[in-house]
């Protein structure tokens, strides 16, 4: 049901984040906010108003943002094609098509999309790989501002070659793993680290294969009409009830992993 899929062989835009070069200045986070007209407050975790975060993990900083999967689960599970894999590889979201089912939020293997729980017209929010820039050949706001070159953007194949060469030239500095080269079938965002990825909060158990293939193995067994009818009814009922809840009690936020106070939801 994806609206559009990158044509085979089309150049996938990517982003390389080298954690060993990152000084934690947060310029990337600020530039992202300015460029996307988001409020300047930086939330500690990803939120509906913070599309990327930089965390200190031991002696190293680490960034998180949408991985722009080559075969994105969020796109494949969306019943109304509100998420799109663009020809350049950016995974984007169309609010006007979204019915608020949050399948994308639940399906993302990297726990990235956030939902505007407080809004009367809630949207799913996440990094869009600066499509307004990268679709015209420009670089992302976060790579443009980065003072150390820790974040850079460009064609994924070129970034992969850079990452491989860095590991080859400096085996003492990097763990021999380019995160995103193979995870979930490959991602547009690639990460280098000087310490094992599991120590900086990156899931190394995430499956190697593209998740959508597995998703559809299950979903295609359910008749299309039943699935869509149920989803539309469920989604509409959820939106109506949610808006009533917010009207009655604006503080009643129902984050998807609220007990930990860390995952999901707006800040």
Judged by beta carbon, residue 110 or residue 115, the one nearer ligand SF4 is 110
We find the least distance from the C-beta atom of residue 208 to ligand SF4, in angstroms, to be 14
Residue 194 CB neighbour total at 10 angstroms: 17
Judged by beta carbon, residue 77 or residue 246, the one nearer ligand SF4 is 77
We find the least distance from the C-beta atom of residue 144 to ligand SF4, in angstroms, to be 8
Binding site for ligand SF4 (CB under 6 A): 22-28, 31-32, 35, 51-52, 54, 61, 63, 65-69, 72-74, 91, 108, 110, 112-113, 126-130, 140-142, 145-146, 148, 150-151
Judged by beta carbon, residue 51 or residue 246, the one nearer ligand SF4 is 51
Judged by beta carbon, residue 48 or residue 146, the one nearer ligand SF4 is 146
We find the least distance from the C-beta atom of residue 116 to ligand SF4, in angstroms, to be 15
CA distance 88 to 156: 10
Judged by beta carbon, residue 25 or residue 219, the one nearer ligand SF4 is 25
Residue 5 contacts residue 13 (beta carbons within 8 Å): no
- Residue 231's φ and ψ, nearest 5 degrees, are -65, -45
CA distance 65 to 143: 13
Judged by beta carbon, residue 98 or residue 145, the one nearer ligand SF4 is 145
We find the least distance from the C-beta atom of residue 161 to ligand SF4, in angstroms, to be 20
Residue 104 contacts residue 77 (beta carbons within 8 Å): yes
We find the least distance from the C-beta atom of residue 17 to ligand SF4, in angstroms, to be 6
Judged by beta carbon, residue 92 or residue 246, the one nearer ligand SF4 is 92
CA distance 234 to 146: 43
We find the least distance from the C-beta atom of residue 200 to ligand SF4, in angstroms, to be 13
We find the least distance from the C-beta atom of residue 5 to ligand SF4, in angstroms, to be 13
Judged by beta carbon, residue 14 or residue 235, the one nearer ligand SF4 is 14
We find the least distance from the C-beta atom of residue 10 to ligand SF4, in angstroms, to be 16
């Amino acid at each position: 049901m994806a609206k559009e899929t990158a044509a085979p062989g089309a150049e996938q835009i990517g982003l390389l984040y080298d954690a060993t070069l990152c000084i934690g200045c947060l310029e990337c986070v600020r530039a992202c906010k300015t460029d996307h007209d988001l409020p300047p407050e930086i939330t500690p975790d990803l939120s509906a108003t913070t599309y990327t975060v930089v965390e200190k993990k031991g002696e190293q900083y680490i960034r998180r943002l949408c991985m722009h999967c080559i075969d994105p689960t969020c796109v494949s599970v969306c019943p109304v094609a509100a998420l799109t894999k663009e020809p350049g590889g950016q995974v984007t979201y169309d609010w006007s098509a979204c019915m608020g089912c949050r399948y994308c939020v639940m399906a993302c293997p990297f726990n990235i999309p956030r939902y505007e729980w407080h809004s009367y017209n809630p949207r799913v929010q996440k990094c869009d790989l600066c499509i307004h820039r990268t679709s015209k050949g420009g670089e992302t706001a976060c790579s443009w501002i980065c003072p150390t070159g820790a974040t850079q953007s460009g064609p994924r194949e070129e970034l992969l070659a850079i990452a491989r060469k860095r590991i080859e030239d400096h085996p003492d500095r990097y763990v021999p793993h380019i995160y995103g080269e193979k995870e979930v079938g490959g991602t547009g965002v690639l990460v280098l680290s000087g310490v094992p990825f599991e120590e900086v909060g990156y899931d190394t158990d995430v499956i190697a294969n593209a998740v959508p293939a597995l998703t559809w193995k299950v979903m295609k067994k359910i008749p299309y009409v039943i699935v869509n009818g149920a989803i539309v009814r469920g989604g509409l009922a959820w939106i109506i009830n949610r808006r009533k809840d917010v009207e009655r009690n604006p503080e009643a936020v129902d984050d998807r992993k609220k007990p930990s106070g860390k995952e999901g939801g707006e800040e």
